[in-house]
Chains A and B, each alone.
Chain A
Amino acid sequence: MSNPAGDGPRGAVPAPDPDRNGRDRADRDGGDWLGDVAERAGPPAGTRPAKGRGADPQTQGPVGTTIAEGAAEGGASGDVLLSARGLEVHFPIRHGIIIERTIGQVRAVDGVDLDLPRGGTYGLVGESGCGKSTLGRALLRLVEPTAGTVTIDGVDILALKGEALRRQRRQMQMVFQDPMSSLDPRQNVESILAEPLKTHNIVRGSAARLARVRELLEIVGLPGSSVSRYPHEFSGGQRQRIGIARAIALEPDLIVADEPVSALDVSIQAQIVNLLEELQQRLGLTYLVIAHDLAVVRHISDVVGVMYLGVIVEQTSSHHLYAEPLHPYTRALMSAVPIPDPDVEDTRQRILLSGDLPSPANPPSGCRFRTRCPWVQETRCADEVPVLREVRPDHVVACHWTEQIAAGQIRPRAEAVVG
């Protein structure tokens, strides 16, 4: 695939070219209707001109480099669709009945830099409570971030309001975990799938809308006769297909899929994973896939970020991450995943983490993982917050001791290793 950024110097995130961008949008939007709206509304409120490299230092961090290039290797085109910098989502903890006071903050997402390669898949893994779902929702502004920036195609979406935000939402859709609770049980399939078309006034006329609904159903592999049926009449896998059809109805650029297969039967999961991959090929979608199943994430992702307690602790291409996990948390996660092969299971070593995830309202000082880390070292881990740094080419890790651990100079506590 062509990679405009590939030969650029390291450290340069390919800045979205304003002209190309503009053209892309016009092409994509196609029909006259949006042209009208755009003319009437002028440039969307809060839209900044696409950022040049020098214009915004925030788009340039080392992480950005990694991702853009890692993705290029992974086969996606080299540029970045969505970019988040210093993203924080804090939820206040309130106390008191009449006079509510804020007595603390749950730091669900606490300073995340993220770049989604255009046309690629970013896999976000972590345990429950690590903030991965909140991060996904914050990127779509389904929860309001407390701090940081999110740009999609150079548009600062956190500055958008009203009609401009509504229009932007066309480009960013979501697939939810549980298709039973994310589909209205009293709406039939036609109504579910026609609703976004109506809301955004994309297809005019009910006959044309019905045709589009049938087309969407066909794309996700459901019979056209499903239109008049209700969600409860479908199996779990079919319901998830309806959820996916709804997400692609507006021809978005970005789909955030939050645990898209974990509620499904084992034999069905592969169908949905294959469907998501096929749609990506066909429609040029960019995915953020949030999942706790490392094997699924490995299969579907170009780039993977590992999250722990509100921060990303390791990020690299899927290939590098699974070939050589470097962060102690990633190592423990990988070793914990059961593999359906008795020979492998009998011989592999497992790294057992002690205890549970600490409270995100009161994260440990220094490295957040230190309370459970089998490789933890005196004082530095508690005193100094590790930053994400490039330890291998295109491979960033937030651990003080990555090199020493990889070289075997620091060994895990003996009781943490079993098998």
Chain B
Amino acid sequence: MGIAVALLEVSDLAVTFTRRGRRDVKAVDGVSFAVDAGETLGLVGESGSGKSVTSLAIMGLLPPKGVRIGGSVEFTGRSLLRMRQDDLRDVRGREIAMIFQDPLSALNPVVPIGTQVTEVLVRHRKLSGSDARREAARLLDLVGIPDPDRRLKEYAYQLSGGMRQRALIAMAVACQPKLLIADEPTTALDVTIQAQILELLKGLVREQGTALMLITHDLGVVAGLCDRVNVMYSGRIVEQADRRTLFVSPRHPYTTGLLGSIPRLDSMEGSPLRPIPGSPTDTLPWSSACAFAPRCQRKLEVCTTVTPELEPDGPRWLRCHNPVPAEEAAAVGAEGRRE
């Protein structure tokens, strides 16, 4: 951290999908956060919480029609939402890069891997053909793809899932971007391959000083990788804290609920799972209530009538009328830990 201006500053971002004859859908509803240079920020939430839409809005990758975007996204002092498409294309890939969940659909199936990697290098780093090829081989080697010269000639279908994700990461880090956005980068991968990829990302962040915005539903991945964590629910951030605060003493009922409902490899045997009742689609509108209220164990009268605001609470920010008391929060954090 240490620098005055954040690398990426998202303020009051709102994304609304509109369709004629249908009710508008607010996918992201007033989200604010900042990413400092070199920092790893986690965005955690379930499907429909708006975490992926947030990242697409930052990258300017949402379709031009049927979407209303509000708020602002400032990257190194420049507004990404107001930038011309040409300028945005210079930022994308060079300064901000993105990795997607499913590497097979993110790669072009009819173009060799090498061409896809060199494309980035020619476009952004203005390398010549042979230099670009050499650099592409170096990048594949950097992300741990053995025999890179052969792999450059191959197509996406010839690579395994882990290799494809490595190839995508190679493209993403080709220009040493300042910010890397990874949207569920390991969800489609096996756990041993996931460990390889997470280790690779950790190393790249450390060595290249890249800031990482990690979008995931897996709290375990967050606990090992992120400096700070945003927990999202139904389009808004409900709790924001550094990872230690969040995991040791979670205070939003949704965060504690999530932690209580996942089985842990190191929990005591026979400890019961306490699921959050209902489903993520049972929400109230944020405009007049807390969206989580229908599923919340700590619901009060006020939760269904007044919008909770995101307010500072010691080392964290919290959006809740009736948060889990601090003592109880510490108990939730400690529960299930190794004896």
Contact = CB atoms under 8 A, between A and B. Distances in A.
A299 B336 CA distance: 12
A298 B163 contact: no
Interface string A220-248: 00000000000000011110000000000
A336 B265 CA distance: 11
Interface stretch (B12-20, B115-123, B189-197): B189-197
Contacts of B193: 127, 356
A295 B191 CA distance: 12
A361 to B, nearest CB: 14
Given A266-B261, A267-B258, A274-B273, A341 B191 contact: no
A295 B265 contact: yes
19 contacts: A127-B192, A128-B161, A235-B279, A235-B281, A238-B279, A267-B279, A268-B279, A268-B280, A292-B190, A299-B273, A319-B269, A332-B192, A336-B192, A339-B220, A339-B264, A342-B244, A344-B337, A346-B224, A352-B196
A45 to B, nearest CB: 42
A270 interface: yes
A273 interface: yes
Given A295-B263, A296-B263, A341 B192 contact: no
Contacts, number: 139
Interface in B148-207: 160-163, 190-196, 198-199
Contacts of B272: 274
Interface in A285-316: 292, 294-296, 298-299
A266 B116 CA distance: 35
Interface residues of A, number: 45
Given A292-B190, A337-B191, A269 B279 contact: no
Interface in A346-376: 346, 350, 352-353, 355-357
B286 interface: no
B223 interface: yes
A318 to B, nearest CB: 8
Contact of A322 (B162, B261, B265): B265
A338 B243 contact: no
B276 interface: yes
Nearest to B186: A338
B149 to A, nearest CB: 18
Contacts of B269: 319
B269 to A, nearest CB: 6
A333 interface: yes
A273 B266 contact: no
A47 B61 CA distance: 62
